[in-house]
Copies of this chain bind each other. A is one copy, B any other.
Amino acid sequence: MAEPTPSPTPKIIKNDPWYGSYAARAETMRASEIRALFAVASRPEVVSLAGGMPYLDYMPFKEIAELIDKMMVEKGDIAWQYGLAQGDPHLREDVLQIMRLENITDVQPDDVVITNGSQNALDLITRIMCDPGDVVLAEAPNYVGALGVFQSFQVDVVNVLLDKDGLIPESFEEAVIEQRKLGKKVKFLYTVPNFHNPAGVTMSVERRPKILQIAQKYHVLIIEDNPYGLLGFDGQTYPALRSMDDENVVYLSSFSKIIAPGMRIAWMVAPPGIRQKLVLANEASVLCPPNMSQFTITTYLDNFDWRQQINQYRGMYRDRCNAMDAALREYLPYCTWNKPKGGFYIWLKIPQGLDSRAMLPRAVTAKVAYVAGTGFYMNGEGRDHMRLSFCYPTPERIHEGIRRLSTVIDNELETTQLFGTSGVPDADPRDAEHPGPQVQ
């Protein structure tokens, strides 16, 4: 899933004349105080291990520009016109070959819906499935953008546990049983099976059919969100859940990580009844995805060796992951983490007694930024973890960033050992209750 440049921290609006007039769902939307740090974290002297921006400098923009030029001359009048709510048919055909790389072979263009990024796909699926108070099961920790969507539709997010082999099937089954006992409607399980954000783990191949069996047994829909599946460092891919079940899975993928996010183009595959509602919801939400973006993507896919480009990305991200892993071993051997086999993130457990959230301002002062673990939970958990992104900085910058981080953690440990606490007041507990979708 995606990670934008965070917006600057909003100022506090005093005396808003519309205070009290907003929808209930708007009351839970609030900017996190972590945002304030992002403005600082984006300064060039800070090594940011916080963002999830893909590294695009190796893209052949000159050649791409020439092809867009040609496309615009040939069909500018269509590229600049309204399109279909379901998305451009050419692009819906093109994505089939991408999905084949993960064993999805039975999809037709009519099964595909193009969206304004996977964020909007999550918005649409939640919109058509969830009433306020309905339950969504989601891995904990979980992608912060998904939590933001669920929150904005006033959904109850119930945690399902992860380990190094991904989502734990028993935890999924228990959660369904427990929620049904409580009389709750479980609308779907949301999972990022491959190279999880932020946990870095991948659902083992053995677990996949088990999870599908539970979904079938209890008639629970699965939302399979797969932005990183083609970014396995050794070129490995895993069979998508959707490749084993065409009735109980809505599959989401995106061009944001495997090509580039600036077009905001992603896609969904859904069973017919759901897909039909998704198209109507897409139309109500945005009328149609941008033709300009869709035509740019099809032009790219049709003219470039995109498989080779994805391979290049894999190698680049592998090198950066190795650099981070080596630096962590060198500077922070007393922390724990699973080295991921793909994707963008390492999920670092920090020594007991430290608080990743409280520590963040001091890290930024030491010129390194990360995302505190609390951003990936709805309930204030996660102070013992942080997410470190290796996607954007160079290996040298990553090494330097981890070195800086180690000085901060060392200092915190020293303070904790001296005073039994890291010496700072706890963050505002209201923030912990609503970390919000802004903790990117």
**Chain A interface (Cβ < 8 Å from any Cβ of B):** 2-8, 10-11, 13, 16-19, 21-26, 29-31, 53-54, 56-57, 59, 61-62, 64-66, 68-73, 76-86, 116-117, 119-120, 123, 127-131, 134, 145, 148-149, 151-152, 187, 219, 221, 247, 256, 260-264, 271-274, 276-277, 279-281, 283-293, 296, 436-438
When distances are taken between beta carbons in the complex, the residues of chain B under 8 Å from A5 are 81-84, 288
A264 B289 Cβ-Cβ under 8 A: yes
Taking a contact as CB atoms closer than 8 A, the residue among B13, B81, B83 that contacts A273 in the complex is B13
When distances are taken between beta carbons in the complex, the residues of chain B under 8 Å from A280 are 29-31, 436-438
B65 A120 Cβ-Cβ under 8 A: no
B23 A438 Cβ-Cβ under 8 A: no
A285 B285 Cβ-Cβ under 8 A: yes
Taking a contact as CB atoms closer than 8 A, the residue among B4, B76, B293 that contacts A85 in the complex is B4
When distances are taken between beta carbons in the complex, the residues of chain B under 8 Å from A24 are 131
Q: Kindly report which residue of chain B lies nearest to residue A81, judged by CB atoms.
A: B262
**In the docked arrangement, what's the CA distance between A113 and B218, Å?**
43
When distances are taken between beta carbons in the complex, the residues of chain B under 8 Å from A281 are 26, 29, 152
Taking a contact as CB atoms closer than 8 A, the residue among B26, B62, B117, B145 that contacts A277 in the complex is B26
Q: Kindly report which residue of chain B lies nearest to residue A113, judged by CB atoms.
A: B7
B56 A288 Cβ-Cβ under 8 A: no
A287 B4 Cβ-Cβ under 8 A: yes
B261 A80 Cβ-Cβ under 8 A: yes
B264 A287 Cβ-Cβ under 8 A: yes
Taking a contact as CB atoms closer than 8 A, the residue among B13, B219, B285 that contacts A123 in the complex is B285
B82 A64 Cβ-Cβ under 8 A: no
**In the docked arrangement, what's the CA distance between A17 and B4, Å?**
36
B69 A66 Cβ-Cβ under 8 A: yes
A76 B61 Cβ-Cβ under 8 A: yes
Given the interface pairs A4-B83, A284-B148, the reply to whether A77 lies near B53 with Cβ below 8 Å is: no
